Amino acid sequence: MILNERDLLERLTSPDPQRRIVVTPIVAPREQFGPTSLDIRLGTDFKVVDVANLTHLDPARTMADAPVPVRSYEIEPGKAFILHPGEFALGASLEFVRIPEDISVRVEGRSSWGRLGLLIHATAGFVDPGFSGSITFELNNISRVPIALYPGVRIAQLCFFEGRPTGLPYDRKTYTKYSGKTGAYGSNVHMDPEYARLRRAGAAGT
Amino acid sequence: MIDHSGLPVLPATWEAGWQVWLRAGLWRLGVAAGDVGRDVRRRMLMDRLPDLSAVIRADWSAAFAGSDARQPWATADLSAAAGLLADLESSLLRLGAGVVPGAFASLLDVRWGDWPPAALAPRPAEVDPDGFVPLPVGEVGLPMAWPAALAAAGAPAAKVPGETWLGLLELAKGLRAARDGVGVLLPATQLQVGPAVRGVAGRLCHGLLASALPAAPLEDVREASRALDEAGADGRSALYGVLEGLREEPVSPWDVLSGAWLAFLTLRPMWTEEALRAPDPLTHLAVEADAFLALVRKSLETAALHRLLQEQAEEGDR
């Protein structure tokens, strides 16, 4: 069941920590609440892969031996991060969220941004029950003109789905790579056990 | 080892290293707790500093080469913590010791006791329009002299690791006191713990961002929501009125840092207890400290942006 604004209100104020959804800060509820969604804002952290000396990304080899060269940008409030056509960057939400074990979340773009050619996630638009931290955006400009992104603007929306409580909440999974993170975090795919097996087998890095 | 509260504590020297480490982190955050523009500029400058700490750590390690290698804290732990201290010193010097007076000094003075005796703060006349203090270049190299000074003193502490810390801290204190051309001693004040500080501490203790607190008690919002349901009202304005109760107000940098310290005092026994059961206690503490500091830093940044958004909204409404 998708939560509407009344359900969300009940969850955001619930005295029961097992039921409570945390989204903080809520800056302007009138602007942020939709019928079945809550808008979230762009934070100040951005990361862009520095491709100048990079031939390719190999999670099994390159990322395990040395971190992927990433440029970090802290954009001062009031200033803009310019996302050029075709460029990919990681951003983070201003908000910090904590999701209870019976709630899953979809991160969706806002149509106003979609009409300008801005995608806010490449493929990871799902937040597991039990997750806490900032939401990472996978920003991609598919238009033909650069887009100025200002920290603090509403850039995405969260849609909450209620289900039975999971026995495998995100923060207690065996392989949890992003729980509790508070900024734009790069990929930790090389920590997946498949790549450890590949490395042991010597099959990676061709 | 059990302290008076019945909780296990780390050996004294570990505790000292751990405390210095976290305090150094909080101090760094204090440097970044100015207004929005300065905050970002300072942090960017800090990120661009050359990595002096590696050099300094190497020097520290050499100074303690005679330590008893069987004592883990006599070498790696100590040099890492000392490196952080030195790194912090050089960062502060390069940044012009731009600690915000009144915001962080009180926090430090009350809880740090004799170490450090005060935050370095610029005299008003020395501050440029951007909040930076020009410093003589020679001052920047000062921390590099610490290991040499220890060695010149015969490094007696190296033979008695428990006293090493005291020696280091005394030396650092002396260096700070000698630097009277740069900083002034801020008066100690009482740490005032109001509802905002307690609210911040509570959030941080639960691993939550603490940049803002509810503008209205959540019980009131729940009650308003129930009243809305019972009245069967479905008007948009009535609903928005209830939702508006969820609005949060940003907290000040002072509240974030004071709350962080309060939270740390609460969390430390738990972290320590867990660390003592972990295979590598210091790594365990490092992970906890890093996550905690990241949350505090994000709280400061988010509060700054939140304030700006509020100001823009107020200007727009006028």
Of A13, A25, A76, the CB nearest to B212: A25
- The type of residue at B34 is G
Angstrom distance (rounded) from CA B100 to CA A97:
30
A16 and chain B in contact, CB less than 8 A: no
Q: Which of B301, B310, B314 to mutate to test the interface with A (most CBs of A within 10 A)?
A: B301
Partner-chain contact A134 B211, CB within 8 Å? no
Six-digit token string for A16:
């029961």
Summarised one tens digit per residue, pLDDT across range B228-267 is 888 776 667 788 889 999 999 998 776 776 677 677 667 7
Residue A154 C-alpha, separation from nearest chain B C-alpha, in angstroms:
11
How confident is the prediction along chain A (206 residues), in pLDDT tens digits per residue? Answer: 999 999 999 999 998 988 999 999 999 999 999 999 999 999 998 999 888 877 887 777 655 566 677 888 888 888 999 999 999 999 999 999 999 999 999 999 988 898 899 999 877 788 999 999 999 999 999 999 999 999 999 999 999 999 988 877 776 655 555 566 777 777 777 777 787 777 777 765 44
Catalytic positions of A: 138
Residue of chain B whose Cα is closest to the Cα of A33: B243
Strands A22-24 and B212-214: unpaired
Select from B207, B303, B306 the Cβ nearest to the Cβ of A180.
Answer: B207
Residues 6+ apart with CB under 8 A from A81: A46, A73, A75, A89, A91, A148, A149, A150, A151
Residues in chain A with CB shorter than 8 Å from the CB of B225 are: 6, 9-10, 13
- Shortest CB distance from A24 goes to which of B248, B304, B313? B248
Which residue on chain A is closest to B47 by alpha carbon? Answer: A72
CB of A12 within 8 Å of any CB in chain B? yes
The angle, 0 to 180 degrees and rounded to 10, between the axes of the packed helices B236-243 and B218-231 is 160
The answer to whether A5 contacts B243, with C-beta atoms less than 8 Å apart, is: yes
Q: How far does the CA of residue A141 sit from the closest CA of chain B (Å)?
A: 24
Contact B70, B150 (CB under 8 A): no
- ipTM, interface predicted TM-score of the complex: 0.85
Residue numbers of A between 136 and 175 with CB closer than 8 Å to B: 151-152
The pTM (predicted TM-score) of the whole model is 0.65
Which alpha helices (H) appear in B115-252, and where do they start and end? Answer: 137-140, 145-152, 161-178, 195-205, 218-231, 236-243
Report which of B62, B123, B115 is spatially closest to residue B88, judged by C-alpha positions.
Answer: B115
So what's the pLDDT on residue A196? 75
